[in-house]
Amino acid sequence: MPDPRRTPANDRVIAAHLSQTSGDRSVVEGQPARIGVPVVDLLRQPNGARDRQLLLGADVLAFERRDGWAFVQAVYDDYVGYVPSSALTEDAEPVTHRVCTPATHAYSTADMKSADLCSLSYGSKLAVISTTEKFAKTDQGYVPAHHLRPLAELDANAVSVAELFLGTPYLWGGNSRLGIDCSGLVQTAMQACGVNCPGDSDQQERELGTSIQLGNTPVPADLRRGDLLFWKGHVALMQDSETMIHANAYHMAVALEPVAGAVERIMSQGDGPVTAHRRLEI
């Protein structure tokens, strides 16, 4: 059965490539659009629960616009959901750069004392129009030039990207420096390194890297920097062989934690043992 999180179909419309199961629904082609606000919740239903978030500059396909809501699919990971129609733009300049610091501001002029127009999270994408020594003129305003990196320049280390988010508040379904969850942290780190990464931890457990066999002890052996550990509904990234970094509800933040203590704590909470140990060669 198709994963509904990646299936662009609702009660009224269905994507053209799924037309063989259209039933009474209208068959539609997705219309390219882009997120035009700093961050927006991707909702399960209009006014419903947040599943994930999309950042400024994210490409989407819009399959329906109705009553102020757009039914969209994110191009990067195929996640579907609803965003306010006002969060979309179709006539934006082509994005050229992304924010490479945990967060930054766009200012009204090339002066740090000028009015700030918006706050932007790591990974937000902008169109750079021109640059000076200190500022880049973008479609969102003036951004400190060293806070931006060309889209083609990928990060080499997912753990280093995750470390930028230390102290970020935990937010279920979050994908930004304002708030992030465990799978959002992993996805952000992997995306920065050019790795295709789905949005939720169960998808990541199935699709990322190669599986390392679990032993008979609660704490997996042969842990390396960059390895992923999974529990039911949770994922952590190994900083080194003994320490993991994860966004978690225990600390209500992105935190470093000794893996042995974390495994013991998670099991004592009734959330079960480690379900998978996976390794990526990046």
Ordered structural domains, the chain, with CATH:
4-89 (2.30.30.40), 97-150 (2.30.30), 158-279 (3.90.1720.10)
* Beta carbons of 140 and 97 less than 8 angstroms apart: no
Q: Kindly state the tokens that stand for 19.
A: 């037309």
Q: Tell me the DSSP string of 98-116.
A: EE-SSEEEEESSSSTTSPE
* pTM to 2 decimal places: 0.96
Residue 93 has pLDDT above 90, yes or no: no
- Over residues 42-68, the pLDDT tens digits come to 999 999 999 999 999 999 999 999 999
Distance from C-alpha of 276 to C-alpha of 282, rounded to nearest angstrom: 19
Helix (H) / strand (E) element for 201: namely helix 201-207
- Over residues 118-150, the pLDDT tens digits come to 999 999 999 999 999 899 999 999 999 999 999
What counts of helices (H) and strands (E) characterise the chain?
4, 25
